Amino acid sequence: MGKHHFIPFFTLALVFLVPVILGRTFTATTHNVETDYQTIKVGTAKIANQTDEYVFSLFYLDLDIDVRDVKYLIAPAMVILLGADPAHTQDKNMQVTVAFNKFGEGCVQRLPRCRYGFFQVVNNDYEKWIMYAIGGSNDPTILSQGNRFLAPDVAKSKQVTQRHDAPEEEWKNWKWKSENDVFLNGAFFVPSGGDFQPTPEQTAGLIPPCTEPVEALTRDAGKLTCTPGQPC
């Protein structure tokens, strides 16, 4: 799985400016211990020539997470996993925002993949993934808003969504919803669970979809290019 980082006893954690080059892998992993976690933010990471493993893996969480301003350049295979496995039912309390990210051409899957919890995926730009963009298992609630999905040319991969480890009779009740998303080159989102509304607690952490084109919003996602002593 590559390298892991264990971060105990915190109220705010930032993981940023993470270069991955020449096929090396990086996994940012947090484990829940008996403490009062509040917020994790993962952002401003630049990924190049990442061809296997996870880039970010966040799980065992009873907190709010904000993943934004991340730029994946060349073909990560499994990018963001949110929720460890079905045994970690405490992840039902996880609330995640994935916002203002650029998922470039050739990312394979898990942009993100979600287990349990509530997930807002908002104002992201997706270009020609290999398998799927947004996946989930164990009844996650997913609200997709204001994203731009440019599907790959392969017909079988144009679906944005993928449910795992459940028959349709089960996943048809999972709450997955698309609002104000843009679908290009045959991309399509399969909703489920009817016309649900987020709870007041979930609504409090939402980022509003932007009216500006998402490709402009995410144009500068990733690390800043700065010279010491000069404005970035």
**Residue 118 is assigned to a structural domain of this protein:** yes
- Write the DSSP symbol of residue 205: T
Instruction: Please give the average per-residue pLDDT across 117-131, as a whole number.
Output: 92
36 within a domain of the structure (yes/no): yes
Residue with tokens 């999905």: 149
Task: Show the domain range for 32.
Answer: 12-187
Residue 224 lies in a domain: no
On whether residue 193 sits in a domain, the answer given is no
Indicate which residues carry an active-site annotation: 110
pLDDT digits 0-9 by tens, 40-51: 444 444 444 444
The answer to whether position 182 is within a domain reads yes
Q: With 0-12 CB in 10 A as exposed, 13-18 as middle and 19+ as buried, what is 166?
A: middle
Residue 146 included in any domain: yes
CA distance 114 to 99: 15
Domain CATH number, residue 170: 2.160.20.10
Within-domain flag for 205: no
| End-to-end CA gap in the chain | 34
Q: How many angstroms separate the CA atoms of 189 and 142, rounded?
A: 12
Kindly indicate the confidence band of residue 201, based on its pLDDT and cuts at 50, 70 and 90: confident
Radius of gyration of the chain (CA): 17
Greater pLDDT, 84 or 198: 198
Tokens for 144, please give them. Answer: 């997709």
- How far, in Å, are 24, 85, 134 from residue 165 at the CA level? 29, 11, 15
Residue 137 pLDDT more than 80? yes
158 or 99, which is more confident? 158
What residue type is assigned to position 187 of the chain?
A: A
Q: Residue 223: which pLDDT band, with cuts at 50, 70 and 90?
A: low
Mean pLDDT within 63-72? 64
Q: How many domains does the chain have?
A: 1
pLDDT mean over 128-137: 95
The half-sphere exposure of 111 on its side-chain side, counting CA atoms within 13 A, is 33
Per-residue DSSP letters for 47-111?
Answer: E-S--SSEEEEE-S--SEEEEES-EE-S--SEEEEES--TT-GGGGG-EEEEES-EE-TT--B-T
pTM > 0.75: yes
| Residue 225 covered by a domain | no
Res 29: pLDDT: 35
Q: Which of 34-38, 45-49, 135-139, 153-157 has the lowest average pLDDT?
A: 34-38
